Structure 1
Amino acid sequence: MKKISALFIALFLLSGGQAFAAGDAAVATLSQSMDTIWVMIAAFLVFFMHAGFAMVETGFTRSKNALNILMKNLLTMSIGAVLYFIIGYGIMFGTSSGGFIGTNGFFLLGQSENIGFFVFQAVFAATCATIISGAVAERMKLISYIAVTIAMVAIVYPVVGHWIWGGGWLSELGFTDFAGSTVVHLTGAIGAVVAVSFLGGRIGKYSNGKVNVIQGHNIPLGALGVFILWFGWFGFNAGSTLSASDALIPIIVATTLLSASGGVIGSALYSYIRYKQIDASLTLNGALAGLVGITAGTASVSPIGAIFIGLIAGVILIEAVQLIDRRVKLDDPVGAIAVHGVCGVWGTVAVGLFAVEGGLFYGGGAALLLVQAIGVLAVIAWTSVTLGTFLFIYTRFSSIRVSREEEIQGLDFAEHGSTAYELRGGILNNNESPSTGSPFGHGLVDRLNGLEKPKVDRKAEVGG
């Protein structure tokens, strides 16, 4: 009897152990599925940010270039995704060669288990490239912009990403950039600096020793873009945890919200102090300044620290716009260099000051601050030298800027043969538009069908 009882107990314990093992496996599978869903949702939010970039850039520039900007943003996302699949992902996350560059994983070969991670990173890569779009707006040839996008997504950005996120030399130093103040934003902004330096300013921007303001045509559209970007940024930052169960997600969402709010308040107050009015475009960009500023340290700082980072970013933004526009004379229609570049530097350095663990203000000394500064300088040097060399060679064979006539006419006509808006009501004699002075009509359909409307016999309409 005792032997039978012992046998039953053994069978029970064995079945119980198997049940527990099966339960653990089910929990692990469910956790993995939730992580995948979380990363995909975050990727969708970051993808949607490209709509925000398109709206900001379109609203802050002139109507005659709106269609061109929309096409650049659409092409950036599409070309960026394919290039990142072919080469960018491998350089960024492949096996490291000397901490400088990845050497495998091209075409995602051997990376089938990381396909979701690839999608998330691909929309980041396109974000870096599209920063340049706004800075070069209204005067760069579309084919030249595409060439710059290829250089950024295929070479410049992945190498920076490998250094910091792919196990490269900066990550080994302890450089901290949780979601991309440097990797994405500063890299894109330095690319913009280089491209604008080769392009020069728009016609009429700098004349007779004066800096002239060229107004955007639709600030409400730009405001919509800012809100879309702010919304997508929650996925940009919180999604970088790569885990749905990460306890840091609430703090990341909170610091993202508070820093963006601080950026708005800081830019609004400072613009009022300086100009006696709250400037709308600067305040809108203040939200983006706060978001860029918190991106590096969003998981490392406290909510109070996030507010201060945002407030300071909002003030820095206004001074940076003035410096870049009036002193350095880099014509950046949307303020991308100030927002993503200067505030990207600030956000990266701010980690060394405000990080709860290791930050200078929390008793951590200057070690982290020094590492952050080294990382910033290294990324600036790599991006400027690499893209600068590329554009120097490129401009030996072809101009990257449209002609004077095309720029005055607007890139919508010059590059796409159409416009973003219906302007039929403003047509002058000989089919000349008052807004563009162009004799070419208002689009391919108009040019094919003609602008002349058939005359209507009014007498026939009323019965003679």
Structure 2
Amino acid sequence: MYSLIAERRWTTLLLAAVMSLSFLSLGSPSYAQEGGETATVSETDVLVEEVAEEDLGVGYALDNAVLMFCAVLVFLMQAGFAMVEAGFNSSKNAVNILFKNSMDICVGVVLFFAFGFGIMYPGAYGVDVEEKPYFAFGGFGLDGYEATIDRTFSPEVDWLFQAMFAATAATIVSGAVAGRMKVGAYLIYSAILTGLIYPISGMWKWGGGFLAQEGFQDFAGSAVVHGLGGFAGLAGAIVLGPRLGRYVNGKSIPMLGHSVPIAALGVFILWFGWFGFNPGSQLAFHGLTDSGEQNIDVVMHCAMTTTLAAGAGGLVATLLSWGLFGKPDLSMGLNGILGGLVGITACCDCMSNLQAVAIIGPVAGALVVAGVLMLDKLHIDDPVGAFPVHGLCGVWGCLAIGILENDYLTNGDTSLWIQLKATVIICGWSFVTMFVLFSIMKAVGILRVSEAEEQQGLDISEHGMSAYTN
């Protein structure tokens, strides 16, 4: 049967799968004596070589297929962000929010293809990152991408997965500046963050730069993606100032969103997409890691810890809001779920299930509530809680690796000082650069819409259309 399949394995995928099962049986001593005849040494060597080649093919196909699926899940998170931000804001700004989320992905993929990927991963183009640990440009697009023998996925799927992360970092800010920022100014911000700011700091960690060389650990981007986006959102909210009527005579006036069901749907879409964001960041589902461990265990563990932290974060935020306000606040609970997801993102690979459900998620949920109340006291208007969810919980996720017991800490691969230093550098880089950018746009008069336009709603004033018709 082996010979027949070997000769015709190219004809159908089904036959290839059957042949792979046959190859597995080659590992047992009994197969070498099938039919009572013992294979010669040379024949066995040939069979082993063919098995190795076929295994590589299956591994390549598996890694490409699953990483492609994970990239699509992360892409779906754009819909989640759009729903959350639209639901938590006024109906007169719904089109504007959907427009910004749409443009984030459009601008993001184009600029990340043009030079963002080349900046973030110069080593993939043959650049010696140890000699250039702060900034390097590998090349335009994927020209010059050097696929190595130990990489079991294509350059295209590698780019696709990473491009979705770049767009995610940008779209976090959309909710923090909702209801008062001009479309042109937002497009400028989105282009600079996805094309330059995110790739540069991303290179410091994921591209093999100086933070990676110092031992900083951030598995899927609590700081690299979420912290960066959260602190960029904080900068935008501060420079823009609050929405009209949000704070009157020093008093906080709640401005409720127009559709809690849409916001809730967005949270569940984001939670669903996070199963691509965190487990997919292993970037391998077949073969061995450098240490010889099976990658598949890491992938499944990330899915488990991600689920537990999200649930615990939502539960704690709900209970805290219930105790503080007398009734369970759904918006707090929803943001608590997101906070738990952000918090576990950095450490989903190294924290135990118990740590995820008992510490990472609960602390993140508490930070969300505390962060929302803190911004309100400071009169910083963040309509969707982008900074508490992505900024504060992103910081927590990275610091937890330096505090709680895990292999990175136990083995001396990192320390609390390294985690703190790197997190401050990434978040500070984002806040300072974006604060300067927003301040420049404010100074030249292109940042915020007029009071009349804001009162009318950005859907009409900026886009000439309405999300809802009579």
Show the counterpart of 2:364: 313
* Secondary structure of residue in 1 paired with 2:415: helix
Show the counterpart of 2:247: 206
* Secondary structure of residue in 2 paired with 1:162: helix
Show the counterpart of 2:231: 190
Task: Report whether the alignment pairs 1:98 with 2:132.
Answer: yes
2:88 aligns with one of 60, 84, 92: 60
Equivalent residues of 1:352, 1:366 under 8 A apart: no
CA apart distance, 1:11? 10
Equivalent residues of 2:184, 2:446 under 8 A apart: no
CA apart distance, 1:160? 1.1
Show the counterpart of 1:21: 49
Show the counterpart of 1:290: 340
Determine the C-alpha separation between the residues in 2 that align with 1:27 and 1:11. Answer: 21
Task: Report whether the alignment pairs 1:415 with 2:462.
Answer: yes
1:121 aligns with one of 162, 169, 172: 162
Map 1:169-248 to 2 at 5 A: 169-245=210-286, 246=295, 247-248=297-298
Q: Which amino acid aligns with 1:105?
A: G
Equivalent residues of 1:266, 1:315 under 8 A apart: yes
Instruction: Identify the range of structure 1 (412-421 vs 103-112) with the bigger mean alpha-carbon deviation.
Output: 103-112
What are the superposed Cα offsets for residues 214-272 of structure 1, whole Å, 9 maximum, x if unpaired?
Answer: 00010011000000000100110000011123221111111000000110111011111
Instruction: Identify the range of structure 1 (137-146 vs 345-354) with the bigger mean alpha-carbon deviation.
Output: 345-354
Q: Which amino acid aligns with 1:155?
A: L
Q: Which amino acid aligns with 1:415?
A: E
1:401 aligns with one of 448, 459, 467: 448
CA apart distance, 1:106? 2.3
Show the counterpart of 1:347: 397
Q: Which amino acid aligns with 2:96?
A: N
CA apart distance, 1:352? 1.3
Show the counterpart of 1:132: 173
Task: Report whether the alignment pairs 1:150 with 2:201.
Answer: no
Task: Report whether the alignment pairs 1:162 with 2:212.
Answer: no
Determine the C-alpha separation between the residues in 2 that align with 1:414 and 1:16. Answer: 75
CA apart distance, 1:12? 4.6
Show the counterpart of 2:430: 383
Q: Which amino acid aligns with 1:252?
A: C
CA apart distance, 1:103? 1.8
Show the counterpart of 1:107: 141
Determine the C-alpha separation between the residues in 1 that align with 2:221 and 2:455. Answer: 37
Q: Normalising by the residue count of structure 2, what TM-score does the alignment of the two structures yield?
A: 0.84
Equivalent residues of 1:178, 1:298 under 8 A apart: yes
Determine the C-alpha separation between the residues in 2 that align with 1:412 and 1:301. Answer: 44
For structure 1, the 5+ residue unaligned runs are: 1-8, 424-464
1:88 and 1:367, CA in 2 relative to 1: closer, same or farther beyond 3 A?
closer
2:66 aligns with one of 25, 38, 60: 38
Determine the C-alpha separation between the residues in 2 that align with 1:416 and 1:293. Answer: 36
Determine the C-alpha separation between the residues in 2 that align with 1:22 and 1:378. Answer: 49
* Secondary structure of residue in 2 paired with 1:204: coil
Q: Which amino acid aligns with 1:20?
A: V
Determine the C-alpha separation between the residues in 2 that align with 1:380 and 1:11. Answer: 62
Equivalent residues of 2:350, 2:408 under 8 A apart: no
Equivalent residues of 1:93, 1:105 under 8 A apart: no
Q: Which amino acid aligns with 1:197?
A: I
* Secondary structure of residue in 2 paired with 1:108: coil
* Secondary structure of residue in 2 paired with 1:167: coil
Determine the C-alpha separation between the residues in 2 that align with 1:78 and 1:371. Answer: 35
Show the counterpart of 1:272: 322
Determine the C-alpha separation between the residues in 1 that align with 2:371 and 2:469. Answer: 36
1:272 and 1:204, CA in 2 relative to 1: closer, same or farther beyond 3 A?
same
What are the superposed Cα offsets for residues 85-137 of structure 1, whole Å, 9 maximum, x if unpaired?
Answer: 01110110013353112321322212274111100000000000000000000
* Secondary structure of residue in 2 paired with 1:319: helix
What are the superposed Cα offsets for residues 311-351 of structure 1, whole Å, 9 maximum, x if unpaired?
Answer: 11111110110101222x21110000110001111111111
Q: Normalising by the residue count of structure 1, what TM-score does the alignment of the two structures yield?
A: 0.85
Task: Report whether the alignment pairs 1:89 with 2:117.
Answer: yes
What is the percentage of aligned positions where both structures have the same residue? 41
What are the superposed Cα offsets for residues 423-453 of structure 1, whole Å, 9 maximum, x if unpaired?
Answer: 3xxxxxxxxxxxxxxxxxxxxxxxxxxxxxx
